[in-house]
Amino acid sequence: MRIVSIVGARPQFIKCAPVSVELRKNNQEILVHTGQHYDYELSKVFFDQLGIPTPDYNLGVGSASHGKQTSMMLIEIEKVLLNEKPDFVLVYGDTNSTLAGALASVKLHIPLGHVEAGLRSFDRRMPEEINRVLTDHASDLLFVPTKTAAENLKKEGICKNVFLVGDVMYDVLKQSITIAKQSQILETLAIQPKNYFLTTIHRPSNTDKIQNLSQIFEALSSAAKKVIFPVHPRTEHFIKKHGLERSIGRNIHMMKSASYFDFLWLEKNAEKILTDSGGIQKESYLLKVPCITLRDNTEWVETVEDGWNILVGTNKEKIMDAIHNFNPTGEQRDLFGSGDASTKIVKILEDYGSNTITYN
Ligand code: UD1
For the entire predicted model, the pTM comes to 0.96
Ligand 1, from 6, 33, 36: best to mutate by most atoms within 8 Å of Cβ?
36
The DSSP output letter for 360 is -
* Ligand 1 centroid from CA 189, angstroms: 26
In 3D space, the residue among 166, 135, 138 whose CA is nearest the CA of residue 150 turns out to be: 166
* CA 210 to each of CA 125, 206, 233, 314: distance values in angstroms, whole numbers, following the listed order: 18, 8, 16, 11
pLDDT by residue (tens digit) across 289-310?
Answer: 999 999 999 999 999 999 999 9
Which H or E run includes 286?
helix 278-286
Burial 191-219 (b: 16+ CB within 10 A, else e): beeeebbbbbbbbebbbeeeebbbbbbeb
Question: What residues are paired with 128 via a beta bridge?
Answer: none
CA Rg value for the chain: 20
- Predicted confidence at residue 88, as pLDDT, reads 97
In 3D space, the residue among 277, 94, 312, 315 whose CA is nearest the CA of residue 201 turns out to be: 277
Residue 310 three-state SS? strand
The percentage of the chain sitting over the pLDDT mark of 90, rounded to a whole number, equals: 95
Ligand 1: atom nearest CA of 37 is 23
- Helices 168-180 and 260-269: crossing angle, nearest 10°? 90
Report yes or no: 17 and 51 within 8 Å, Cβ to Cβ: yes
- Predicted confidence at residue 359, as pLDDT, reads 53
* CA 59 to each of CA 15, 33, 71: distance values in angstroms, whole numbers, following the listed order: 19, 6, 12
* Ligand 1 centroid from CA 96, angstroms: 9
Ligand 1, from 95, 236, 300: best to mutate by most atoms within 8 Å of Cβ?
95
Report yes or no: 289 and 208 within 8 Å, Cβ to Cβ: no
**How many secondary structure helices (H) and strands (E) does the chain include?**
16, 13
Please provide the DSSP assignment of 201-227 as one string. Answer: ---HHHHT-HHHHHHHHHHHHT-SSEE
* Protein residue with its CA nearest to atom 14 in ligand 1: 10
Question: What is the average pLDDT across 238-267?
Answer: 95
* Ligand 1 centroid from CA 40, angstroms: 13
Report the C-alpha gap between 16 and 121 in whole angstroms. Answer: 23
pLDDT value at 355 more than 80: no
Report yes or no: 165 and 341 within 8 Å, Cβ to Cβ: yes
- Predicted confidence at residue 358, as pLDDT, reads 55
Ligand 1: atom nearest CA of 43 is 23
Report the C-alpha gap between 237 and 115 in whole angstroms. Answer: 31
Report yes or no: 58 and 33 within 8 Å, Cβ to Cβ: yes
In 3D space, the residue among 222, 224, 229 whose CA is nearest the CA of residue 252 turns out to be: 229
Report the C-alpha gap between 302 and 36 in whole angstroms. Answer: 30
Ligand 1: atom nearest CA of 97 is 15
In 3D space, the residue among 86, 111, 134 whose CA is nearest the CA of residue 357 turns out to be: 111
* Ligand 1 centroid from CA 288, angstroms: 28
* Ligand 1 centroid from CA 314, angstroms: 21
Report yes or no: 33 and 55 within 8 Å, Cβ to Cβ: yes
Report yes or no: 260 and 45 within 8 Å, Cβ to Cβ: yes
Active site residue 202: yes
Other Cβ atoms within 10 Å of 64 Cβ, number: 14
Out of 202, 237, 242, 324, pick the active-site residue.
202
The DSSP output letter for 115 is E
Question: What is the average pLDDT across 97-113?
Answer: 98
pLDDT by residue (tens digit) across 154-210?
Answer: 999 999 999 999 999 999 999 999 999 999 999 999 999 999 999 999 999 999 899
* CA 98 to each of CA 20, 88, 172, 199: distance values in angstroms, whole numbers, following the listed order: 16, 15, 20, 26
- Predicted confidence at residue 175, as pLDDT, reads 96
